[in-house]
Every structure is written in structure tokens, then in C-alpha cells.
Amino acid sequence: MAKNKSSLADKAIAGRAVKDAFKKLSPKDQVKNPVMFLVYLSAILTTVLFVLSVAGISDGIVSSGFILAVAVILWLTSLFSNFAEAIAEGRGKAQADTLRASRRDVTAHKLDDPANKEQFTDISGAALKRDDIYIVRAGEQVPADGEVIEGAASVDESAITGESAPVIREAGGDRSAVTGGTTVLSDWLLVRVTQEPGSSFLDKMIAMVEGANRKKTPNEIALQILLVALSIIFVLVTASLYSYSVFSAGQAGIENPTSIVSLVALLICLAPTTIGALLSAIGIAGMSRLNQANVLAMSGRAIEAAGDTDVLLLDKTGTITLGNRQAAAFLPVDGVTEEELADAAQLSSMADETPEGRSIVVLAKEKFNIRGRELGDKDMTFVPFTAQTRMSGVDYKGGQVRKGAADAIRAWVEAGNGVYTSQCEKLVDDVARQGGTPLVVAKDHRVLGVIHLKDIIKDGVKERFADLRKMGIRTIMITGDNPVTAAAIAAEAGVDDFLAEATPEAKLQMIRKFQAEGHLVAMTGDGTNDAPALAQADVAVAMNSGTQAAKEAGNMVDLDSSPTKLIEIVRIGKQLLMTRGSLTTFSIANDIAKYFAIIPALFMGLYPGLKALNIMSLASPTSAILSALIYNALIIVALIPLALKGVKYREVPAGKLLSHNLLVYGLGGIIIPFIAIKLIDLVVAPLLGAL
């Protein structure tokens, strides 16, 4: 059933592409591609020459049938180029149609007073403005993009991400962003609108996948300038050849055997029409492949940058490790009992909703049957974890409890005139050397002991990093762990380097350092504290589940919120660059064969010695020209699947990859046209003879 569905979708895309190919024949569309605009003008010129020939106005060198054949082939070449671009756009347009279908104007419950959730005004979701506050309950659709300021709920984001499993959205964390068009499945959310009408994430997504906002990338512009320069050179060469032919025929006292139509055919065959026709399709297809991977690129420049990236910054948690660190042991110090440590650790973790915090509560209950307290007990004031303090805890009438990174707790203990003992230092080092994460617990500025958190390296990660190393990419693990723990995990995972005890400032400084050395840096992030680093990175992949600040700072958004997606993005970027380079090589190499097909055909009448260059033994000058033109048109169609799919990328050094592609697409680009033009000539020659 899925195959049939896919087949029907492909047929629908192809049908739309055929219609769009004809629509794109307008001068306004054609002028956007200078190389194919040259083909377009040549098709018009030969059509005019055919009409004149039928009317009896011609130089009499070539027949009306020949002129018509050339004109038809040139029009087909333009149509094939348009079709290549349209078929590449088709997938994006199909995805955009699906997204439009998911977008509905829903009623929003706008609050005038956030403190009073029962009094609201029902207005159209499209009328919501930035900083408006609305409430959305179970079973209702989120009317507009926003940041959750109160509440927690399960949200169905399948309309945006395609993932059927619901996700949790809540206030105060890195998973506080909600997207218009998603559906709340349970509980309620109080949301502050973060976008003006018409500029929602869904609107941007539709525009991007449809290609409406696509701009040519720097590499694409540079290549197009090269192609235009080559085309200008060939125009000048062709014009000079006609003048030379007229002069030579006059000197020999014979009629000029070279017609304008034949020279137009020569120009089109020598111009880089193959890559010119496919250039736009390659760029669109690259963005489409990224969309299929559920990544929304805000610009084509970001995809190209991903292909040139040589430094990857990766979060440890969720990327290199499974991310669910679990409390494995309570390690008391200086005469403190294990139960006393467990009690304090559980108390400091009551408001900690992270998997680590919950595992501490569970371990204390399992080992010592310590029951969880009510959050309102003892006039507790919970201290949340922040990237700056790197610790959390609770204040209550009976004292203060803190748990967190060893250096942060040490500073807190010593600030209260407490003593950070050597036994605690030793335990921290022991846990770290084992690849675990030590959390130090202190009460009233007195160290109680260490919690051993265990994290598990993902299967296959080490091999993946080895592949990246072969690609010439340096991998750096970012973690909030202490340096000893970070070093142990980095060694096990096989990354090249690590940044321990990472703060927003440290991440930003590291990125700037690499960029100053000439590197292109990619990183992922989901929190507001990641926003500065994401804004600085060349390729910044924000998680869709993350904060609005992170999404606005990134130039890509991963709809699946998978930190490992960065590796796939780099692969797609490199594949895009390789595809463009390989097909450019193939296109230019093609000219050699077309030169040997057309040049002898044009000038053998003037210089019989040129017959030696007819190495393909083509039947006649007419069949040679038509065969070369037909090949020039058909090769565009033949290469469309490769342009859409991309050249296969392998994790090998760049030099080896270049040599391989030069052999396949350079040498192949020389050999294939010789064979193809000869085979076409074998078909065309008898047909011409029969006319």
C-alpha cells in the first residue's frame, strides 16, 4: 500500500512538473538562468529562420526540414531543463500542500489578565499579535507560535514533524516552545505569542519547502558566473568562425558551406548546457533531501556550509550518550552515613524533574525506603539549576541543601566557611575516572558525599566518529561534566576533543577561536543559553523542541529534535557540493566529444583534411549536427535522477574522493558522448536518407 501511495505521489509530481515546464518558458523565468536563456534565444532564432525558409527567404545551404529539426530539439532542450527544475520543486510543493492542509484558523482564548485563567476573549488565531497571552486546553489546537509561561502538557506535533508520539511542553525549561497547528492532548498551557501574524514557524516552513524564498548560494553564484563566462567565450568563438568561414569560402571561390543554423547548433553543443540545465535542480533537490530528513533549512547557504564544515560541536547528552543518566550509588564522606546522604540527596531533588533528579529520588526510596516529601512541606524554597551556578537545592527552616558539580559545591561550601575535604576530592576523581558523573551533596556548607551518576555511550557512536575523522572533520564533545569525567567519556566515544564544564561563554569563545583559524563550525543546541553560540556558528541546528530563542538563532531547525541529525546534515551538504562538482565536470568533459562531432561536419567542405577528425565516422554533416544536438538534450533528462538523488557520498579523504569523481565523471564525460552520439547517428542517418 505504501509503495502504491508513493508511486501515485511520484506520478502526481511528474504530471505537475510537465505543466510547470511549459509555464517556465516565459522570458521572465528563462532569463534567471543565463546559460539556458541562450538556448531559449537560439530556439526562437531557429524557429524564425524556419518560418523564413518556408516563406522562401533563406540562404539555401540547409533545408527547411533540417532547420525545423534543430528548432524542435532546442525547444525540447529548454523544456527538459525546465522539467528538471520543476520535478525538483515538486517534492517541496507537495510537502507545502500537506502543511497548508494542516493549517486551520482556530479560535484562540486570549487572556487580558494571565492571573485569571477563566476570563478570556475568543478571537481568531490569525488575529493574535506578538506578546499576546492565550490559554490552550486538552483537545484544542495551538493557535499561534509561542513560549509556554505556565503549565505543562502533552502535545501532538505530528502535523509539523510527522512523528506520531506526543511530546511534553512545559514552562521554564528548554522545551517551552509550542508551534501553531499542533494539538494539546492533555492538561493546559499558558502561552505568550512570539511571532507576528503571517510569520509563524509554519508559514516560514511552507515558504522554505516550496522554494519561494530560495536564493542562490555563493557557490552557486560563483559557478553560474563561470558558466556565463564560458558561454560568452563560445558566442565569440562561434561568431568569429562564421566570419572566418565566409572569408575562406570567398578566397576559395566556393559557396560558404557553413549556415547560421549549423553555427547555432555548434554554440549550444559547446556551451555548458548540461550543468546549466541541472544547476538549479541540484540546489533545490539538496534542500528537499534535507526536508525529507525533517530538517528545515532557513537558507541554502547553510546547507553548503554544512558540506564544507570541518569542526563539529556535539552535546554529550543525547548525542554521544543515551542521555538518561541514572543514580547508581551514594558515596558518603567523613563519617556521614549513607542513609543521611541519601536523605539529603532526595530532599534536594524533590523539585528536580530531570531523569537524573528522578533517579536520585527512586534510588533513595529503593535502598532506604525514604519516602518522597510533599513540595510544600517545611516552607521549602527550591533553588533551580542554572548554567551559571551549575547546582540546585532547597532552602527550608531546618537548613540548606545543595547538590551539583564538584567545583560549584566546593565554592558554595567554602563561601560558608565550610571545609571541602580531600576524601570528597578522591571520590569525585574515582567516579570521574570510571566515566561516571559525580554530583556532590552538601548541607549547611558541610559536604555529605557524592552521588554516582552513570551514563551509557550509544552503540555505533565510536565507528561514526571514525568515519567523520576520515572525512577530515574534527569532533568536539560539549559537556557540563568536570574535565576528568569528560576525558573518560571522550576516550570511550572516540571524539577528537572535548569542552568540559561548558558555559554559554565558553562555547561562544571556542567557536570564535576555530573560526579565527579558518574553520567552518557546526553545532546543535536547544536552550536559550545555546542561542549566542548558535548565532555565531556557521551551521547552527536548533531543536524544534527547544526554546524560541534557540530556533531564531539557528539557521536550521531539526523537527525531530535529534542531536545526532547534525552528522546527517553534514553528509547531505557534502553530497550537494559533490553532485554539483561532479556534474559540472561531466558537462565540460562532454564538449570534447561534441567538438569532434560538429567541427569536422561544419568545415569539411572548406578543408577536406578535417575529415581525419571525424573519428566517429558519422554518416553526414547533417546527421552529425543533429546527433550531437539530440544527445545534448537527452543527457539532461538522463541526469535528472542523479541530480535529484545526489552523487553517492563515501567517508573517505577528500583527495581520494576527488580522484574517484574525476575518473568517473571526467573520463566518463569524455567516453559516454562518443558512444551515444555514434548510436544516435546510426538511427538518424537512415531517417535523413529516407526524407
Whether 315 sits among the annotated catalytic residues: the reply is yes
**Amino acid (1-letter code) at residue 182:** T
The residue whose grid cell reads 526536508 is: 291
309 within 8 A of 521, measured Cβ to Cβ: yes
What 3-state DSSP class applies to 134? Answer: strand
458 within 8 A of 408, measured Cβ to Cβ: no
CA separation for the pair 157, 180 (Å, rounded): 10
571 within 8 A of 649, measured Cβ to Cβ: yes
CA-nearest of 280, 260, 204 to 21 is: 280
Catalytic residue among 20, 174, 315, 481: 315
24 within 8 A of 16, measured Cβ to Cβ: no
- Strand residues in 384-445 grouped as ranges (E): 391-396, 399-404, 437-443
CA separation for the pair 535, 538 (Å, rounded): 8
Question: 163: which 3 cell numbers?
Answer: 512523528
Q: Can you list the alpha helix ranges (DSSP code H) found in 434-523?
A: 461-470, 483-493, 504-516
Who's near 406: CB < 8 A, 6+ residues apart? Answer: 424, 425, 428, 438, 440, 482
CA separation for the pair 142, 183 (Å, rounded): 6
Who's near 187: CB < 8 A, 6+ residues apart? Answer: 137, 138, 151, 152, 153, 154
b/e sequence 633-657, b meaning 16+ C-beta within 10 Å: bbbbbebbebbbebbebebeeeeeb
CA separation for the pair 685, 661 (Å, rounded): 35
Any bridge partners for residue 332, and if so which? 449
Q: How many degrees, rounded to 5, is the angle at CA 605 between CA 603 and CA 608?
A: 85
465 within 8 A of 475, measured Cβ to Cβ: yes
Sign of dihedral through CA atoms 403, 405, 411, 414? positive
Long-range contacts at 385-389 (CB < 8 A, ≥ 24 apart): 385/352, 385/354, 387/480, 387/503, 387/504, 387/527, 387/529, 388/503
CA separation for the pair 441, 413 (Å, rounded): 10
CA separation for the pair 547, 531 (Å, rounded): 9
Residues taking part in catalysis = 315
